[in-house]
Structure 1
Amino acid sequence: MPDPRRAHDTIAAIATPPGDGGVGIIRLSGVSSRSIAARMFRPARPSFTDFTPYTLHYGRIVASDGAVLDDVLVAFMPGPGSYTGEDVVEINCHGGRAVLAAVLEETLRQGARLAERGEFTYRAFMHGRLDLTQAEAVAEMIHAPSRSALHLAQAKLSGLLGRRITELRSGLESLRARLAVAVDFPEDEVECLAPGELAGDAARIRAEIDALLGAVDRSRTWREGALVVLAGRVNAGKSSLMNALLGHDRAIVTDQPGTTRDYLEESLNLDGLLVRLVDTAGMRPCLADDSGHEPIDAVETAGMHMGQKLMDRADLVLLLADGTAPLDAATLETAAKLSPGRALAVLTKQDLPGFDPSIRAAPGLETVTVSSTTGHGLDALCVRIRARILENAGQPDPDELAPNARQAAALGQAAEELRLLEADAVAGVPYDLLSVRLETACATLSSITGEITSQEVLDAIFDAFCIGK
């Protein structure tokens, strides 16, 4: 977290991702950003006299020794009407690493210092340009895995969640004021707050908090992606199917049982829905069986246990079975444990002789036939995976507010305080003690928007940002 003693420094950083690209941006923020840019910039137009706010100016960036570093476009955004609330300059360079490094080094020579992680957004928060929910939404937008997740982050970036939290806190503050009157003037009947009325008002606000918490589970799939686990007996074709779905070789495929000893995870985008596809260790008996396979070792056993844990957590389990061989006991036993609503049977090796399309992994499990070699059935499988996940997760509501984990934890704490307040009010606990619960609930809600937030929380939030944002 930036040192408060350096809060008035002018900072600079590369604001675009690492690597080569068509355009790269150097961002400066602080009182000296304009003068630093002016010392480096050589305008292409002779009539140029100064930076016009919110206008792109074409020219060159020149080092202090006179060397031309790059042809650029420079924009000046004066505070407080900028992202950080301070004077901001953005230098649009060519996107090569050497170019960006050279221009950044020149800004540092001219008096800027290198920005720390999240320092631009931290300054926006400190200057009141963003509340804490909006600052977190910036990071959520950057890391959004799908368009639906992007929409959820945009709703928070617009300030909707912050305003909703403020409304809830205002309702509690109103209750606190009425409770204070009841404490200070117990004989005054004008503003007397009956315990039942207090409990009822607290319950109403708690119900609104619970509604926000309900959105956390509903939006989880869209924010984090759905966990889809490939399970089945060794050599059922799990690794081959994973490679085929990804379009490249990610998992090692051999005829030797137990090749996959740990789990492999890759992401797959199914028409805007992020799927976290996991290939697990194949199931087989721990002792040598009639197929002649050797007993498995401790590493593979641990992999099988991990696979079972992943299946328990999965949004959808793809239970694979070799369509050229009779169903084995391990597959049937696994199928019996799976809920039809969160499992899909996949009959593999459709292209091989002896494939029997009548095989079903278990009664009640929908079955899709595929060939990882020819690609037969892969499109239909992707459609069914997406449809099955949506049956449980549902389509996201573009207007729904979905708190993140930190915000949900604070909302849960506030709701618990209100629940205890309701019980205490009915039990006749004195009003001055009830006010403590209200005060705690209000402070907890304030921590969500950043009005009352510890430095440790701010450190954790902004240290997760990249440098340059």
Structure 2
Amino acid sequence: MLDPRLSKDTIAAIATPPGDGGVGIVRVSGSRAREIVRAMFRPARETFTDFRPYRLHYGHVTDADGTVLDDALCAFMPGPNSYTGEDVVEINCHGGRAVLGAVLQETLDHGARLAERGEFTYRAFMNGRMDLSQAEAVAEMIHAPTKAAMHLAQVKLSGLLGQKITELRSRLEALRAQLAVAVDFPEEELECLSPEQLIGTVEGVRGEIGSLLKAVDRTRAWREGALVVLAGRVNAGKSSLMNALLGRNRAIVTDQPGTTRDYLEETLNLDGLTVRLADTAGIRATEDAIEAAGLEMGRELMDRADLVLLLADGTAPVDADTLDAARRIGPEKALAVLNKADLDTFDAQNGETLKAVGLETASVSAKSGDGLDRLSARIRERVLGNAGQPDPDELAPNARQAAVLAEADRELAALAGDTAAGIPYDLLSVRLETACDVLSGITGEIAANDILNSIFDSFCIGK
């Protein structure tokens, strides 16, 4: 079946988030955009003849019977200097669902087609208004969980990542040209590229690819948020600690063990860093199938976590199950938390066995709040490591782009190895061509339809 995004239809969609709001926008793009909106727009001024570019025109949107649907401000942006590169009209009206639905339906009744997911940005990409890295940055801007993530997306939206990839490809393309000379004119006395020079240039490009890949890991917590898992024996205070960190009662807290059978997840903001806080089922032997499934989910979460808060009751010696969990998780990922510091029977020495297996420990009282600020600060430091706040101008590829860069790096590493082994230049040029083609997948010069579909299908319908 032909992808509707490949058509030249005039498309329309609600461009603002679902729900009720003060203002909503219906966006129309395509060759008939101005004609369609003009047919349903009743201007407030009698002198109005047609939409003027880049001006807001006040009036009313009406249905086919002339019944007023809503007050509206309409803006016309002619192509190619619009978001999509086509004629675009945006209808600004009240943000109620019924109002927006009625206005959108009217555009469809006049000949527009409902836009597919990401189709406005897809058209911007296809019409040369942005490269593929910029198109992906649009979605990253929309979904940015932190201000830092927003800035990182803005850098890519400005085109800097695309420019960097283009520059790296240009250096590799220059190598291809030099290899072609060496292959086509072997008998000529030409200043040809030596194997050492070839390897040096390739390694230089690999070094810059490596820097981009390091930025992926360094900024991941800012771009995606960090997963912090609460683990420990039943009644160690995991749910109480979750509630205390959130500042509200989210998890059920009782004296009965095994209250949490599944896992709970909530979002916490730690000084600008978004943390996904997950409260898991208490560690213990059980024959209850539901609780056992919850324990297995907890183990899977711990494996994926950026940090595990391993809770222990500070009023008693650490039990064997908690020590086993500490050894399994390891000191790099685990932070031991001794709870119940408000009780007279609390003894920080109970944490020595956890320190003995390499874990950092912290003492808190989930009930009184003592030590929570210190713990929150330490969670943030542990998640970020030495990365800290990202540079506002840092180029940080997303997961797809990182996979492409890693593939190109593997091809270039093999090229350097083949060069050192004395492989003929005509064979080396094949690897060089492959590396160039792989890199072009980031900017979109060469991109399969299934890749494009997977990218734009992740967008909302109105973008």
- Which bin holds the TM-score, normalised by the shorter protein? over 0.9
SS in 2 for 1:360: helix
User: Is the 2:405–2:439 contact (alpha carbons within 8 Å) kept by the matching residues of 1?
Assistant: yes
Q: Is 1:182–1:191's contact at 8 Å kept on the other side of the alignment?
A: no
Q: Tell me if the contact between 1:186 and 1:192 (Cα under 8 Å) persists in the aligned partners.
A: no
Q: Equivalent residue of 1:304, what SS?
A: helix
Q: Aligned residue for 2:39? A: 39
The match for 1:406 is: 400
The 3 A distance-change label for structure 1 pair 329 and 142 is same
Name the CA distance, whole Å, in 2 between partners of 1:5 and 1:386.
43
SS in 2 for 1:389: helix
The one of 340, 356, 364 equivalent to 1:349 is 340
Of all paired residues, the percent bearing the same amino acid is 72
Report the more deviating stretch, 436-445 or 189-198. Answer: 189-198
Q: 1: distance between equivalents of 2:187 and 2:457?
A: 53
Give the Cα–Cα distance (whole angstroms) in 1 for the partners of residues 234 and 258 of structure 2.
6
Q: Describe the superposition over 1:354-398 as per-residue Cα deviations: whole angstroms up to 9, x where unpaired.
A: 444564363365544433344443333222221332334432122
Provide the residue aligned with 2:312 in structure 1.
321
Q: Is the 8 A contact 2:71 2:93 kept in 1?
A: yes
Q: Is the 8 A contact 2:316 2:350 kept in 1?
A: no
Distance 1:175 1:158 in 2: 28
* Number of positions where the alignment pairs a residue of Structure 1 with one of Structure 2: 460
Q: Which runs of 5+ in 2 are unaligned?
A: none
Shift of 1:298: 4.3
Which has the higher mean CA deviation after the structures are superposed, 382-391 or 409-418?
382-391
Structure 2 CA distance for partners of 1:367 and 1:427, relative to 1, 3 Å: closer
Does 1:174 pair with 2:174? yes
1:5, CA displacement in angstroms?
Answer: 8.3
1:212 and 2:206 aligned: no
In the TM superposition, what is the alpha-carbon distance from 1:464 to its structure 2 partner?
1.2
C-alpha separation in 1, matches of 2:422 and 2:181? 17
SS in structure 1 at match of 2:351: coil
Q: Aligned runs of 1:234-249 on 2, under 5 Å?
A: 234-249=234-249
Residue 452 (structure 2) aligns with: 458
Alignment match, 2:294: 303
Give, as a single letter, the amino acid of the residue that structure 2 aligns with 1:242.
M
In the TM superposition, what whole-angstrom CA distance separates every residue of 1:250-308 from its partner, at most 9, and x where no partner exists? 33333222222333322211121011111122122x3xxxxxxxx54344344334434
Contact conserved, 2:26 with 2:103, CA < 8 A, in 1? yes
2:115 aligns with 115
Q: C-alpha distance in 2, partners of 1:4/1:118?
A: 12
Displacement after TM superposition at 1:399 (Å):
1.6
1:22-421 map, 5 Å: 22-284=22-284, 286=285, 295-335=286-326, 339-340=330-331, 342-352=333-343, 354-356=345-347, 359-360=350-351, 362-363=354-355, 365-421=359-415
Name the aligned partner's letter for residue 345 of structure 1.
Answer: A
Are the counterparts in 2 of residues 2 and 116 from structure 1 also a CA contact under 8 Å? no
CA contact (8 A) 2:227 2:305 kept: yes
* 8 A contact 1:145–1:224 mirrored in 2: yes
What's the C-alpha RMSD, in Å, of the aligned pairs? Answer: 2.2
Note if contact 1:178-1:191 (Cα within 8 Å) is conserved in structure 2: no
The farther-off stretch of 246-255 and 349-358 is: 349-358
Give 1:303's aligned amino acid: G
Q: How far apart, in 2, do the equivalents of 1:59 and 1:373 lie?
A: 58
Bigger drift between 364-373 and 40-49 goes to: 364-373
Distance 1:125 1:226 in 2: 31
| Distance in 2, Cα, partners of 1:163 & 1:365 | 44
User: Aligned in 2, Cα 1:313/1:101: closer, same or farther, shift over 3 Å?
Assistant: closer
Q: Distance in 1 between matches of 2:78 and 2:405?
A: 37
Cα distance in structure 2, aligned partners of 1:333 and 1:105: 61
Q: Hey, what does 1:439 align to over in structure 2?
A: 433
For residues 115 and 311 of structure 1, what CA distance do their matches in structure 2 show? 40
Report how far residue 244 of structure 1 moved. Answer: 2.7
Q: Structure 1: any 5+ residue segments left out of the alignment?
A: 287-294
**What letter corresponds to residue 275 of structure 1 in structure 2?**
V
Amino acid of the structure 1 residue aligned with 2:59: G
Kept in 1: contact 2:315–2:350 (CA 8 A): no
Q: Which moved more, 1:98-107 or 1:313-322?
A: 313-322
C-alpha spacing 1:366/1:425, structure 2 compared with 1 (3 Å):
closer
Separation in 2 of the partners of 1:302 and 1:100? 44
Q: Supply the distance in 1 between the matched residues of 2:191 and 2:156 (Cα, whole angstroms).
A: 37
Which has the higher mean CA deviation after the structures are superposed, 166-175 or 213-222?
213-222
1:424 to 396, 408, 418: 418
Partner secondary structure for residue 320 of structure 1: strand
- CA-to-aligned-CA distance 1:387-440 (integer Å, 9 cap, x gap): 332334432122211111111111111111111111111222122111110110
| TM-score, length-scaled by structure 1 | 0.92
The one-letter code matched in structure 1 to 2:185 is F
**1:386 corresponds to which letter in structure 2?**
R
